[in-house]
C-alpha cells in the first residue's frame, strides 16, 4: 500500500502495529512457558510467568495511549480506522489470554510431581494446539491474511474437542481416588482456561478478517464437543 503523505502519521500507525505484534509475541511465549511449566510441574517458573504478565499489561496501556493519540490527531479513515480499531480489540484479547496463562501458572503450586502421563499428555495436546492457534492468528494479523485468520477461526472446533478429551481424563483421574480432588479441580480450571484462550484467539481471528475485508465473518463458528457448564 502506498504511504501517507504525512510521514509522522505513517510512523504512528506502524508503531501501533509494532506494539500489537510485540504484545502478541510476549503473550505467545508466556503461554508456552506456562504450558511447559504445567507439564513439567515446574514450580520454580511460576513467579517468572506471573511477572511476565506485567510486561503484557504495560503494552496494553501503551497501545491504548497510541490509539487515543491516533484518533485525536489523525481521525483515521477506512483501512487506517479498521487497523486502529482492530488493534484496540486485539490487544484486549491478548491481555485476557495473558491473564489466563498467569492463572494457569498459579495452578501449578498444588500439583504433585507424579501426575500420570496420559493426563498430562491430553492437556499438552490441547496446550500445543492453542499455542499454535495463537501463533497463526498473530501471523495472520502481521500479513493481513484473511484466509489464514478464517482457518484459525474454524480450527477452534478442534480446541473444543481436545478440551473435552482433556477434561474427561481429569474427571476420570479424579474419580479413581478422592484424594486427587484437591489438585484435580486446578487441572479442570487450567483446561477450561486453555479453552477460553482459544475463544479469545477466535475473537482475534474475527478482528483480522474485519481489518482485511471490512466485514465480519458471517455465520456461526463451527463448535466441537463442549463440556456442560
Partner 1 sequence: MSDIKIRSKNLNVYYGEKQALFDVNLDLNEKEVTALIGPSGCGKSTFIRCINRMNDVIDICKVTGNIEIDGIEINDKNLDVVSLRERVGMVFQKPNPFPKSIYDNISYGPKIHGKGESKDELDEIVESSLRKAALWEEVKDRLDEPGTGLSGGQQQRLCIARAISVNPEVILMDEPCSALDPIATAKIEELIDELKTAYTIVIVTHSMAQAVRVSQKTGFFHLGKLIEVGETEKIFKNPDNKMTQDYITGRFG
1 binds partner 1 (CB under 8 A): yes
We find the least distance from the C-beta atom of residue 83 to partner 1, in angstroms, to be: 10
* Of residues 7 and 178, the one with the C-beta less far from partner 1: 7
Q: Does the footprint of partner 1 cover residue 3 (CB under 8 A)?
A: yes
Return the number of the residue (26 or 90) whose C-beta is nearest partner 1.
Answer: 90
Contact between 73 and partner 1 by CB under 8 A: the answer reads no
- Calpha distance 133→141 (Å, rounded): 12
Q: Does 132 bind partner 1 (CB under 8 A)?
A: no
Crossing angle (nearest 10°) for helices 181-213 and 146-176: 170
In this chain, which of 44, 72, 78, 114 binds partner 1, going by CB under 8 A?
78
Nearer to partner 1, 74 or 96 (CB): 74
Q: Which of 12, 26, 37, 76 binds partner 1 (CB under 8 A)?
A: 76
Asked if 213 touches partner 1 (CB under 8 A), the answer is yes
Separation of CA 160 from chain center: 15
- Which residue stretch of 60-68, 69-77, 157-165, 199-207 sits at the interface with partner 1 (rule: CB under 8 A)? 69-77
Q: Toward partner 1, which CB reaches closer, 12 or 95?
A: 12
Residues 6+ apart with CB under 8 A from 1: 79
Copy the grid coordinates of residue 63.
Answer: 497501545
Composition of the chain by helix, strand, coil, percent to 5 = 80, 0, 20
- Distance in angstroms (rounded) separating the CA atoms of residues 125 and 140: 22
The residue among 153, 47, 43 whose CA lies nearest residue 102 is 47
**Residue 6 backbone zone (phi > 0: left; psi -120 to 50: alpha; other: beta):** beta
Candidates 39, 41, 50, 79: give the one binding partner 1 (CB under 8 A). 79
Q: Is 4 in the site for partner 1 (CB under 8 A)?
A: yes
Which residues contact partner 1 by CB under 8 A? 1-6, 9, 74-82, 213-215
Amino acid at each position: 500500500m502506498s504511504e501517507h503523505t504525512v510521514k509522522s502519521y505513517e510512523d504512528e500507525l506502524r508503531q501501533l502495529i509494532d506494539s500489537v505484534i510485540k504484545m502478541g509475541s510476549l503473550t505467545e511465549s508466556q503461554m508456552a512457558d506456562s504450558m511447559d511449566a504445567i507439564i513439567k510441574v515446574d514450580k520454580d517458573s511460576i513467579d517468572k510467568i506471573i511477572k511476565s504478565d506485567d510486561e503484557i499489561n504495560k503494552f496494553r496501556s501503551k497501545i491504548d495511549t497510541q490509539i487515543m493519540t491516533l484518533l485525536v490527531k489523525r481521525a483515521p479513515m477506512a483501512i487506517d480506522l479498521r487497523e486502529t480499531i482492530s488493534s484496540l480489540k486485539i490487544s484486549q484479547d491478548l491481555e485476557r489470554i495473558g491473564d489466563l496463562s498467569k492463572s494457569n501458572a498459579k495452578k501449578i503450586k498444588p500439583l504433585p510431581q507424579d501426575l500420570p502421563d496420559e493426563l498430562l499428555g491430553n492437556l499438552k495436546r490441547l496446550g500445543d494446539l492453542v499455542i499454535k492457534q495463537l501463533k497463526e492468528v498473530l501471523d495472520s494479523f502481521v500479513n493481513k491474511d484473511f484466509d489464514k485468520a478464517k482457518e484459525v477461526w474454524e480450527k477452534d472446533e478442534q480446541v473444543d474437542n481436545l478440551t473435552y478429551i482433556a477434561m474427561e481424563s481429569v474427571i476420570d483421574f479424579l474419580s479413581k481416588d478422592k484424594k486427587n480432588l484437591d489438585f484435580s479441580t486446578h487441572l479442570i480450571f487450567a483446561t477450561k482456561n486453555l479453552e477460553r484462550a482459544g475463544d479469545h484467539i477466535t475473537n482475534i481471528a474475527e478482528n483480522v478478517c474485519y481489518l482485511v475485508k471490512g466485514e465480519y465473518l458471517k455465520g456461526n463458528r463451527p463448535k466441537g464437543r463442549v463440556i456442560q457448564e
